[in-house]
Amino acid sequence: DVKVTQSSRYLVKRTGEKVFLECVQDMDHENMFWYRQDPGLGLRLIYFSYDVKMKEKGDIPEGYSVSREKKERFSLILESASTNQTSMYLCASKGTGAGYTFGSGTRLTVV
């Protein structure tokens, strides 16, 4: 089975800090995604990547950036964390098949 691993399950950061969320997949998938999930809003796409060093903005990229230096790793960066970025962050990967495989999520709280 494909495994998607997110480095932290829970994270607490201060306003203004630079935050890195890491995601690693072990099945050589080309496509990787970062979503955030908020009550009443569902999953919203922040950024995605279809190859190493390639990235595209999703629906809500403001305040975020990403890095994909290696195929297996896709990092989400909050340049200067703000309280409205408190959320559940979900990473997913996709190969040639139809479906996504999700990581377990990182619950980020910005205080």
Q: Binding residues for other proteins, per CB under 8 A?
A: 4, 31, 33, 35, 40-45, 48, 50, 58, 90, 94, 98-105
Per the listing, tokens 């990229």 go with 61
Residues 6+ apart with CB under 8 A from 58: 33, 34, 35, 44, 45, 46, 47, 48
**Which of 32, 17, 23, 35 has the alpha carbon at shortest distance from 78?**
17
- Nearest approach, Cβ of 80 to other proteins (angstroms)? 27
Nearer to other proteins among residue 9 and residue 18 (C-beta) = 9
Nearer to other proteins among residue 14 and residue 107 (C-beta) = 107
- Nearest approach, Cβ of 1 to other proteins (angstroms)? 11
Max alpha carbon distance in the chain (Å)? Answer: 40
Strand partners, 59: none
Whole-angstrom distance, CA of residue 24 vs CA of residue 70: 10
- Nearest approach, Cβ of 82 to other proteins (angstroms)? 23
- Nearest approach, Cβ of 47 to other proteins (angstroms)? 11
Nearer to other proteins among residue 14 and residue 96 (C-beta) = 96
Nearer to other proteins among residue 4 and residue 81 (C-beta) = 4
